[in-house]
Amino acid sequence: MTDYAALPIDADSHAALAADDLELRLVDPADDSAVTRWLQADARGFHDSAPGAESLAAQAAEVAGDRITAVLDPTAADPATPVATVRCWPMDVTVPGGSLPAWAISSVTVAPTHRRRGIARALLTAELRTAARLGLPLAMLTVSEATIYARYGFGPAVHQAGYTIDTTRARWARPAPAGRLHLVAPATLQTDGPPVFARARALAGAAGEVDRREGWWRQALGLMPAAPGTPGLTLRAVRFDDPDGIPQGFALYRVALGPNGYPARLDLADLVAATDDAYAGLWRFLLEMDLVSEISAPLRSVAEPVRWQVTDPRALRKTDERDHLWLRILDLPVVLGRRRYSAPGTFHLTVSDDLGFADGEFRLTVDERGRGEARPVSGPAAAAADDVRVSLSAADLASLYLGGTSAVTLARAGRLSEGSTDAAARLDAAFHTIQPPHLSTWF
């Protein structure tokens, strides 16, 4: 088994930072003091409250198997605390018709005293080269700002939506689903949640969803020590069982009282459904909650069916829609060869990539059953008359990959050029997915 944490530090980025009197170094998970300093630097980078001893111990256990990297400045007043951090691990992401292992990149921070001198560039390019060395075809991250990662070849591939629902207007309009709701202690979902999530994630069309690691469940279920100053609204959980008593969905929520107590607002933290009945049962439960007049639901799909299940669709407002999961293609033939497509064709792709991983000419052939095979094209390309020809960047191809972005839109935006008639529309027909991709978590 590959020891991801032990792979040597990237020599190019090590040299680039050394030229600036900085040291790029792997953090040994067994070195408690180094891990603590790294966690403190990470929290500081995101303006989080300083973690207490209990929280540090829990976080240290959570990151123990990851590849943890720090940049140290021996001339800083506190030379033992990193001036930059990054953490990575391999994680599967669902793609149309299957899944793909990807290098998950997280905890990218640079201390405010050390920004804008190329440290993030050194960290990011090091991680991309490390992932490629490990044979991972894709890198991915969820981002704080949309301005940072395109320069490294990442493209936004999954968008998320936030909804505000006026529950005094949004009456349930569909038949009652078959099944039963149970109010449960959130901790019970440590056992009951993962199988439901696994089934929900395996549903056709659920592209863009990543693993939920053990630490993620603990955090989401309120089982990690809270950071100081975190407001203490009670987390509640509801589970939906099918008529055979098998859990098929659950929701996690908190209720915040209004200035005069009631009406209150319900903050939906998570809703996972492995069946349409579970989806309907859970939404109906939330919409009909007494003493609540509004639901706030962040991190949802851009196309939630619940809009079509209430009497007044205007009661449901999409108050936010933004990029969420960014993908970076490292091995283009593997990435394009792994997903299923919706229409056959031969696609000649001219891909530009400043960092070189996916740069060049490629031919993607999709058969009648939607299976794709991509190969680099070497020498003068002998294109058949009906080949679809497009030129685009590796980042924009990553945005198209899960079907959440339209090639026609990118062509109209001047980002994709068409070398044959209706090339973007034909690309869209092949890359189309039955549902927009959705990622329900941060990492």
Ligand X SMILES: CC(C)(COP(=O)(O)OP(=O)(O)OC[C@H]1O[C@@H](n2cnc3c(N)ncnc32)[C@H](O)[C@@H]1OP(=O)(O)O)[C@@H](O)C(=O)NCCC(=O)NCCS
Q: Which residues bind ligand X (CB under 6 A)?
A: 45-46, 108-110, 115-121, 143-145, 147-148, 151
Q: In what order do the strands lie in the sheet with 154-166?
A: 23-26, 67-72, 84-95, 98-110, 138-142, 316-329, 154-166, 292-300, 261-273, 247-258, 236-241, 180-184
DSSP string for 87-124: EEEEEEEEETTEEEEEEEEEEEEE-GGGTTSSHHHHHH
Shortest distance, CB of residue 47 to ligand X, whole angstroms?
A: 8
CA dist., res. 303 & res. 300, Å (int): 8
Taking only Cα atoms into account, the Rg of the chain, rounded to an integer number of angstroms, comes to: 23
By beta-carbon distance, which residue lies closest to ligand X? Answer: 120
Q: Which of 216, 222, 185, 187 is nearest to 439 (CA)?
A: 216
Shortest distance, CB of residue 140 to ligand X, whole angstroms?
A: 12
Q: Which is nearer to ligand X, 146 or 434 (CB)?
A: 146
Shortest distance, CB of residue 355 to ligand X, whole angstroms?
A: 12
CA dist., res. 121 & res. 13, Å (int): 9
Shortest distance, CB of residue 381 to ligand X, whole angstroms?
A: 32
Shortest distance, CB of residue 51 to ligand X, whole angstroms?
A: 16
Shortest distance, CB of residue 93 to ligand X, whole angstroms?
A: 17
Which distant-in-sequence residues (6+ apart) come within 8 Å of 296 by Cβ? 162, 163, 164, 165, 265, 266, 267, 268
CA dist., res. 333 & res. 292, Å (int): 51
Shortest distance, CB of residue 84 to ligand X, whole angstroms?
A: 7
Residues 140, 327 contacting (CB under 8 angstroms):
yes
Burial (0-12, 13-18, 19+ Cβ within 10 Å), 302: middle
Q: Which is nearer to ligand X, 78 or 386 (CB)?
A: 78
Shortest distance, CB of residue 331 to ligand X, whole angstroms?
A: 23
CA dist., res. 395 & res. 330, Å (int): 11
CA dist., res. 243 & res. 386, Å (int): 52
Q: Which is nearer to ligand X, 121 or 322 (CB)?
A: 121
CA dist., res. 400 & res. 405, Å (int): 5
Q: Which is nearer to ligand X, 72 or 336 (CB)?
A: 72
Q: Which is nearer to ligand X, 120 or 268 (CB)?
A: 120
Q: Which is nearer to ligand X, 154 or 347 (CB)?
A: 154
- State the number of CA atoms in the 13 A half-sphere of 66 facing the CB: 26
Q: Which is nearer to ligand X, 49 or 168 (CB)?
A: 49
Shortest distance, CB of residue 358 to ligand X, whole angstroms?
A: 19
Q: Which is nearer to ligand X, 122 or 329 (CB)?
A: 122
Q: Which is nearer to ligand X, 149 or 217 (CB)?
A: 149
